[in-house]
Amino acid sequence: MDKSRIGCMQIYTGNGKGKTTASLGLAVRAIGHGHKVFMLMFMKGCKNYGELSAAKKYLPGLTIEQYGLETFVNRENPSPEDVAEAQKAVNRAMQVVAGGDYDLVILDEINVALDYNLVSLDQVMKLIESRPPHVELVLTGRNAHEKVIEAADLVTEMTLVKHPFYQGVEAREGIEY
Ligand code: ATP
Ligand code: MG
């Protein structure tokens, strides 16, 4: 770990596809330079994401932890279990970010967890403030909060132009998960 490196805070947001996969691409690039990467998934309990088995089999430099149930969260009325999972995730994220042992930390779908009120703005801002200067922090997910955008160094918005979902193509193995 090179603690003299300058880390930034990045956000991948927007309605188009490519936010989680962009962060995984960044992870692969970082691992190629021997950097340590931690990805923490919010609101994702489903075990069949290709990135989970790829990391286990081929990428010892990439640690992934998942939090959340397998079912979709009801935005208007999230279950106590949904909230508890997101709270576990945000506390773990605080530990990982502030600990400074990982060069790149990806908090996947944390923007959605905030948008659904599973975590508070205060918690997310504290997390951002706890980032040691050498750590690169990436927050993904739709509807990034304006205060979080303000705090970022790099913000990319994926714009939906076309998606095969709207032609009736269901989520595909190896492409969507
Ligand atoms: P990916 O994981 O493929 O990079 P993403 O992180 O940008 O996508 P999410 O907002 O997390 O997308 O959406 C979750 C799932 O929905 C993913 O499987 C994603 O591929 C798919 N998806 C992304 N954008 C759209 C869209 N505009 N319409 C329908 N499905 C989408
Ligand atoms: Mg995503």
pLDDT at 143: 98
In this predicted model, which residue has the larger pLDDT, 126 or 47? Answer: 126
Ligand nearest to the CA of 50: 1
Ligand 1 pocket test, pick from 10, 11, 15, 17 with the greatest ligand atom count within 8 Å of Cβ, gives 17
pLDDT at 5: 86
pLDDT at 2: 82
C-alpha of residue 114 to centroid of ligand 1, in Å = 18
C-alpha of residue 4 to centroid of ligand 2, in Å = 31
pLDDT band at 148 (very low <50, low <70, confident <90, very high): very high
Q: What is the dihedral of CA 97, 133, 1, 154, to 10 degrees?
A: 80
62 neighbors 55 (Cβ within 8 angstroms): yes
pLDDT at 47: 87
What residue ranges do the domains of the chain occupy? 9-141
pLDDT band at 3 (very low <50, low <70, confident <90, very high): confident
Residue type, 100: G
Number of the ligand 1 atom closest to the C-alpha atom of 15: 27
pLDDT at 79: 97
- Look up the CATH number of domain 9-141: 3.40.50.300
Cα–Cα distance measured from residue 64 to residue 168, given in angstroms and rounded to the nearest whole number: 31
Pocket lining: 71 vs ligand 1, CB cutoff 6 Å: no
Taking 90 as the threshold, does the pLDDT of residue 137 lie above it? yes
Segment 16-55, tens digit of pLDDT: 999 999 999 999 999 999 999 999 999 998 889 999 999 9
Number of the ligand 1 atom closest to the C-alpha atom of 140: 6
